Amino acid sequence: MSKNYVIGFPRIGEQRELKKVLEEFWSNKCSFEKVEVVAKELKQRHWSYQQKAGIDFVSSNDFSFYDNVLDTCVLLNAIPKRFKDLENEELYFSMARGNKNSVAMEMTKWFNTNYHYIVPELSLEDEYKLNASKIINEYKEAKEFGLKTKINIIGPLTFLGLSKRVDNGDVYELHSKILPIYKELLEEISKLDESLTVQIDEPILVKDNDVKVLSLIKPTYDLLANVSSNIDIIVTTYFEHSNEASKILVNTPIYALGLDFLYGQKNFEILDEISKSGKKLVAGVVDGRNIWKNNIQNSLELLSKISKHINKEDLIISSSCSLLHTPYTLKYEEKMKSEIKSWLSYACEKLDELNLITKVFFEGVNSLNENEQNAYNDNIESNHNRLNSEIIHDKSVQQRVDNFTKLERDGKYEERIKLQKEILGYEDLATTTIGSFPQTPEVRKSRRYFKKSEISKEQYEKDMKQYIDDCIAFQEECGIEVLVHGEPERNDMVEYFGEQLKGYGFSQNGWVQSYGSRCVKPPFIYGDISRPKAITVDWITYAQSKTDKIMKGMLTGPVTILNWSFVRDDKTRSEVSKQIAVALSDEIEDLQKEGIKIIQVDEAAFKEGYPLRTENIKEYENWATRDFKICVSTAKKQTQIHTHMCYSEFNDIIKTIEDMDADVISIETARSGNELLKIFKEVGYKQEVGPGVYDIHSPRVPSVEELKKQIELLLEVLPKEQLWINPDCGLKTRKWEEVKPSLTNMVEAVKQIRKDY
């Protein structure tokens, strides 16, 4: 009997083989046949890993050349008009990345993960038709390889829910056009074998869906689960509970429900109904979104609670979601402290964990062979060690954080801003930038050589200071009012801080796909966080010493540091975030002592951390705001605190932004004119705002005229006394040839506008 299950496996390759070959292909250095060869090798390797680990349900169609939502567009022939003349890989990659004539499709985050999917563009005019070749071929490929797979597909409700209508209607209006294609797909699939399993991913069902969406569940799955009696349909949700939907799904003829019991503990509430319905339960108990070794005893306890409601024979043990969100294997981690490494588990290790849990749960500890017995003991031991390790638990940090009482800075905004304006003396429509300047090949090289100890500390510091000098010289020449040092010492806004905080770890090969061929290697928080010494103070004070203008200090905020890291699972996110906040409050105090008068605390990923369900939002907002405020609590009234957020939509979080009470916030608005700013006016937002006046994602240099128009639009919404003028975001990915004229034009535009306003 089949007892364990993996929702999906990563596909980029443990040495990022797919990334490398794709990028070779895109730059015309190899043929598409070569990409296909690599893809085939990867699929086979991943199947064999899962097979060897004893996984019963292994997927096909979890592979993708770019993204599986994009694959679903191709499956349904949901191709935007501008690509209609293309075909095959040219069509596929043009949709993903754009081409000479057409812009790429939009990309956005997959739920609350850091994976980005391609947003389908739908319209009433579309003619959907089935193109099942990828799915069929992958199934056959696995079969030839010697594996009977379950077939993964993204469900119709999720596909629609993640799409946008280019003709301004409601996406679910297209349900009746899409559903017949899914039916046809299942008919095709049913011909493949005597018996088949299809996993239909419906993560959209963990959101707060309205009645209209919920009302589509029953007709959809009554139809799909009845297409053919030789297909077992498993509907999976993850990242939260899906109780409203599960209640409906148990009354459809599906074979099983897959639920996440780690991030959706409320799924417990539906167990009795599943049991009554006689359906199987795929129970997600091994964390697919984190890198910690599973605690087998905890998992067994969880399963034993579940089995109080569900018969053991109806239980299948699974990863909580696709393993796409974890790195591959620990075998390339050669530099990590062995103690820390013994606490970790990447995708391959998670397979063994699943197998072990399954054996112990169904057959008892005595059924384990010697190797398995060792693995089991080892698991218990390393979890015990981690719980008690000195490098994790720092009493002094815990005491300080528990007793931290300064939760807010002194003075109300009105009082603070008055003092600040006197001291800082900036004009209305003051100009500044968001922090980073172009990361040149020289800067990157110097940092890399220094890391590898190939150049001395003196040489490295000289290089960085030279860059800072150049940045300052340019900003002074161009006439920007509040300067930045340019961030040459940072390769990444989180990793840089992580490296200097105690309690942070780094991997060599912990790559996770972010989008297409892009991967990120998030640092991880394993222990109590403290700041052994000042982080940015030397760089910022050096920069300030080189200019009479105001130099803005630059930190990454606690919530962003947390949201872009793998976080320890033995403390709540709120506890960890508070530790980071307290550590950073010391940095602010030190900067201030050294005479820095403006400090920006970037919260680029603040919005990303929002929970998927409304019922959990308040709690997140409470601690995230608390920690931003703790972080800046050491700032005197005279010290101006800026923050920066890299997006746009503020409507639902404007009250929280107000509560954060930064003196100035810079945001990304250029692509939407003044639309996004309106909410600030509507709620009577008092603090100052720097709406981005040009898009930094594009190499284009905006003209003075264009920038003036943009500023005028802003002035229609907020008065000049409340506005700062800056680009949308940091400039590190741009080239100096673009940045210099753009900022020069920006300053010129402000000069001209000031005459008229």
Nearer to ligand GLN, 379 or 536 (CB): 536
User: CB of residue 740 vs ligand GLN: minimum separation in angstroms?
Assistant: 17
Binds 587: which of ligand GLN, Zn ion, none (CB < 5-8 Å by kind): none
> 514 φ, ψ to 5°?
-105, -50
In the complex, least distance from residue 726 CB atom to Zn ion, rounded to whole angstroms? 10
Which amino acid is present at 223?
Answer: L
Nearer to Zn ion, 57 or 437 (CB): 437
Rounded Cα–Cα distance for residues 349 and 608 (Å): 28
**Mind giving me the DSSP string for 280-347?**
EEEEEEE-SS--BPP-HHHHHHHHHHHTTTS-GGGEEEEESS-GGGS-S-GGG--SS-HHHHTTB--H
Q: Which partner from the list Zn ion, ligand GLN, none does 493 bind, CB cut-off 5 to 8 Å by kind?
A: ligand GLN
Buried b (16+ CB within 10 A) or exposed e, 654-664: eebbbebbbbb
Paired residues of 688 in beta bridges: 664
Q: How far is CA 352 from CA 6, 190, 349, 509, 682, in A?
A: 11, 31, 5, 20, 55
637 is in an annotated binding site: no
CA distances from 146 to 47, 140, 143, 153 (A): 9, 10, 5, 21
Distance CA 734, CA 86 (A): 31
Our CB check for ligand GLN shows the closer of 546 and 644 to be 644
Which residues participate in catalysis according to the annotation? 697
Half-sphere exposure of 404 (CA within 13 A, CB side): 25
- Shortest-Cβ-distance residue relative to ligand GLN: 730
Looking at residue 728, what DSSP letter applies?
S
CA distance 218 to 215: 7
| Least distance CB 727 / ligand GLN (angstroms) | 9
653 binds, among ligand GLN, Zn ion, none (CB under 5 to 8 A by kind): none
Neighbours of 508 (CB within 10 A): 11
646 binds Zn ion (CB under 5 A): yes
Does 519 appear as a known binding residue?
yes
- The DSSP symbol for 39 reads H
Cβ proximity to Zn ion, 475 vs 600, nearer residue:
600
Annotated binding-site residue? 602? yes
Specify the length of the chain in residues: 757
Residue 443 partner contact from Zn ion, ligand GLN, none using kind-dependent CB cut-offs of 5 to 8 Å: none
Q: Tell me the window of 309-317, 409-417, 607-615, 727-735 that interacts with Zn ion (CB under 5 A).
A: 727-735
Q: How many CB atoms lie within 10 A of CB 422?
A: 9
- Nearest Cα residue to 577 out of 561, 599, 566: 561
Structure tokens at 625: 């705001």
Cβ closest to ligand GLN, residue 12 vs residue 729: 729
**Is residue 289 part of an annotated ligand binding site?**
no
Window of 37-45, 70-78, 534-542, 596-604 that interacts with Zn ion by CB under 5 A: 596-604
What whole-number distance in Å separates Cα of residue 372 and Cα of residue 364? Answer: 12
The answer to whether 487 is a known ligand-binding residue is yes
**Segment contacting Zn ion (CB under 5 A): 138-146, 489-497, 603-611, 737-745?**
603-611
Residue recorded with tokens 């009082």: 415
608 is an annotated ligand-binding site residue: yes
Q: CA 231, CA 563: separation in Å to the nearest integer? A: 40
State the sign of the Cα–Cα–Cα–Cα dihedral 453, 454, 458, 462: negative
Contact partner at residue 483 from Zn ion, ligand GLN, none, CB < 5 to 8 Å by partner kind: none
Q: Distance between CA 487 and CA 435 in Å, rounded?
A: 7
Q: Encode 522-534: b = buried (16+ Cβ within 10 Å), e = exposed.
A: bbbbbbbbbbeeb
Comparison of 316 and 554: residue with beta carbon closer to ligand GLN: 554
Q: Is residue 716 annotated as involved in ligand binding?
A: no
Provide the 8-state DSSP code for 104. P
Q: Is 348 annotated as a binding residue?
A: no
DSSP string computed for 552-576: EEEEE-HHHHHHTSEE-SSS-HHHH
- Is 318 marked as a binding-site residue? no
Distance CA 707, CA 431 (A): 13
Nearer to ligand GLN, 461 or 608 (CB): 608
CB-nearer residue toward ligand GLN: 626 or 732? 732
CA distance 421 to 416: 9
User: Would the annotation count 17 as a binding residue?
Assistant: yes
The residue count for binding Zn ion (CB under 5 A) is 3
Q: How far is the CB of 646 from ligand GLN (least distance, A)?
A: 4
Closer residue to ligand GLN, CB minimum distance, 349 or 602: 602
Least gap, CB of 666 to ligand GLN (angstroms): 9
List 57's β-bridge partners, or say none: 5
116 annotated as ligand-binding: no
Residues engaged in binding ligand GLN (CB under 6 A): 434-436, 487, 493, 554, 602, 604, 644, 646, 729-730, 732
CB of 676 to ligand GLN, least distance (A): 16
Q: Does 641 bind Zn ion (CB under 5 A)?
A: no
Residue 435 contacts which entry, Zn ion, ligand GLN, none (Cβ below 5-8 A, type-dependent): ligand GLN
- What's the min distance (Å) between Cβ of 739 and ligand GLN? 12
Q: Is 422 part of any known ligand binding site?
A: no
Name the residue nearer to ligand GLN (CB basis): 245 or 562.
562
If you ran DSSP here, which 8-state letter would residue 170 be given?
Answer: -
Backbone angles phi, psi at 430, to 5 degrees: -65, 140
Joined tokens for residue 261: 């019991």
| Nearest CB to ligand GLN, comparing residues 260 and 668 | 668
In angstroms, give the least distance from the CB of 517 to ligand GLN: 20
Binding map of Zn ion across residues 328-367, x = CB under 5 A, - = no contact: ----------------------------------------
> Cβ 731 to ligand GLN, closest distance in Å?
7
Least Å distance, CB 538 to Zn ion, is 24
Here the tokens at position 180 are 């017949």
Least distance from C-beta 333 to Zn ion, angstroms?
Answer: 31
Strands (DSSP E) found in 59-201: 59-60, 107-109, 116-118, 121-122, 150-154, 164-165, 196-201
Choose the one of ligand GLN, Zn ion, none that binds residue 150, judging by a C-beta under 5 to 8 angstroms depending on kind. none
Q: Which does 551 bind (CB under 5 to 8 A by kind): ligand GLN, Zn ion, none?
A: none
644 marked ligand binding residue: yes
- Whether residue 498 contacts residue 558, with contact meaning beta carbons closer than 8 Å, is answered with no
Q: Exposure of 4 by Cβ count < 10 A (0-12 exposed, 13-18 middle, 19+ buried)?
A: buried
Find the binder of Zn ion among 233, 493, 729, 731 (CB under 5 A). 729
Interaction partner, residue 732 (ligand GLN, Zn ion, none; CB < 5-8 Å by kind): ligand GLN
Is 723 in a helix, a strand, or coil?
A: strand
436 is in the binding site of which of Zn ion, ligand GLN, none (Cβ under 5 to 8 A by kind)? ligand GLN
- Binding site residues, as ranges? 16-19, 109, 434-436, 487, 518-519, 564, 602, 608, 644, 646, 668, 729
The footprint of Zn ion (CB under 5 A) covers 604, 646, 729
Binding residues for L-homocysteine: 434-436, 487, 602
Binding site membership for L-methionine: which residues?
A: 434-436, 487, 602
Annotated binding site for 5-methyltetrahydropteroyltri-L-glutamate: 16-19, 109, 518-519, 564, 608
- Could you tell me which residues are annotated as the binding site for Zn(2+)? 644, 646, 668, 729
